[in-house]
Structure 1
Amino acid sequence: MNIRDATKAHARDLAYLINLAGEGLPEYLWGQMATGSETPMDVGEQRAAREEGGFSYRHAKVCFQKKKLLGMILDYRLPDPYDLDDLEDCPRVVQPLLRLEAQAPGSWYINAIATYKAARRRGVASLLMAQAEASAIAAGCTEMSLIVASENSVARTFYEHQGFREVAALPVEPYPGGKHGGDWLLMTKRIDAA
């Protein structure tokens, strides 16, 4: 297996995988943006192909084995300070996520990590997380952060094994297609910067 920078050619895979990692919330939001005959995944693909923004292929790494894409990670440094001035302009369902992100300013943020079902339990996610930690250290970060649904016990256990600990929680705002209720959990991990 090897990890490489994502390209625009990976945009459709990135959209599918970020929706998987995002508990269906991305597809719900993309559905609100779709026009005409566009599907939510069409919108997601367009957003992944952008040059800028948090959800851009430029922030993603993909894991391949031979020519088969197994999974991806979308990660980057959060702003410091983290500005919440325009929070009320954001969809209500994402406001808790933004409030939690703001509690980890300047950290290396794992926006999404996901693997295709056939690639699970093969070490792909661990390999991607190791790459994220190396990127965080190279960027001079001393902390990594991520957000996960409290009811997603499989993901929570994986993150705990990676050294992440819960530091804050806010209730999930229900949305159509949402797989989990409960809370969004902010988890962080201290790292040694180079």
Structure 2
Amino acid sequence: MAVETDAHALADLVNFAGEGLPLHVWTGLAQDGEDPWAVGRARQAKKVREGQVVVIDFGNGAVAGLTGYGIGSEPEEIGDDFPALFRTLQELENKALDSWYVNVLACYPENRGQGLGSKLLDVADEIARDAGYSKMSVIVADENVGARRLYERKGYSELDKAPCVKDGWETETENWVLLVKSLS
């Protein structure tokens, strides 16, 4: 499991995985003069305290991380005030009820190709089974071919996709893709 001192690396990893979307969000959350990265590190430290993060650390700090959570049996309500940037993501998540959701899976670029993502997905499967879930879910950007290949190798397949609403976020992402797999 991660420790609070991993928050700095986790902010980097989350931003890698989110292709800049997290930093865009943290910038919007930052108060007058506050560093958006400080917002991101604080958010990651909170997730660590809540036990939602697993990292791989070879002794010099986190080099890869996994964040996830269980999705319940009832869809989350999406009201008129729900941020446009996240509406489509929540709509897709609502199609993966009763699953353990891989929210973030990331590795520093220099540590890619070592099987760390695959190892973290195996840990995610264990966490999900221990929590009583029989399926997994994840949402990926359509142009993130490498991530999609990894998930498909691990048994995930496309359930649905929806357009990416950019709402000021500069990205090449056109669609979000919901992938799921059975744990049985």
Could you state the TM-score of these two structures normalised by the residue count of structure 1? 0.88
**Matching of residue 138 in structure 1 with residue 130 in structure 2:** yes
Q: How does 1:7-46 map to 2 (within 5 A)?
A: 7-46=3-42
**1:97 aligns with one of 89, 102, 112:** 89
Q: Give the Å deviation of 1:17.
A: 0.8
8 Å contact from structure 1 (residues 15, 41) kept in 2: yes
8 Å contact from structure 1 (residues 25, 175) kept in 2: no
**1:47 aligns with one of 43, 59, 78:** 43
**Matching of residue 63 in structure 1 with residue 56 in structure 2:** yes
Measured at CA, do residues 172 and 126 of structure 1 come closer, stay the same or move farther in structure 2, by a change above 3 Å?
same
Q: RMSD of aligned C-alpha atoms?
A: 1.4
Instruction: Look up the match of 1:82.
Output: 75
User: Which letter maps to 1:43?
Assistant: V
CA distance in 2, matches of 1:153, 1:104: 21
SS of the equivalent of 1:67 reads coil
Instruction: Look up the match of 1:53.
Output: none
**2:114 aligns with one of 118, 122, 127:** 122
Aligned residues with identical type, % of pairs: 32
SS of the equivalent of 1:158 reads helix
SS of the equivalent of 1:169 reads strand
User: Which letter maps to 1:157?
Assistant: R
8 Å contact from structure 1 (residues 23, 180) kept in 2: no
CA distance in 1, matches of 2:132, 2:54: 19
CA distance in 1, matches of 2:29, 2:8: 17
CA distance in 2, matches of 1:65, 1:160: 27
SS of the equivalent of 2:66 reads strand
8 Å contact from structure 1 (residues 18, 112) kept in 2: yes
Instruction: Look up the match of 2:149.
Output: 157
**Matching of residue 111 in structure 1 with residue 103 in structure 2:** yes
**2:174 aligns with one of 156, 159, 182:** 182
User: Which letter maps to 1:72?
Assistant: G
CA distance in 2, matches of 1:168, 1:90: 21
**Gapped runs of 5+ residues in structure 1?**
51-55
Q: Number of aligned residue pairs: give it.
A: 182
CA distance in 1, matches of 2:78, 2:167: 24
SS of the equivalent of 1:83 reads coil
Q: Give the Å deviation of 1:131.
A: 0.4
8 Å contact from structure 1 (residues 23, 178) kept in 2: no
User: Which letter maps to 1:153?
Assistant: V
User: Which letter maps to 1:80?
Assistant: S
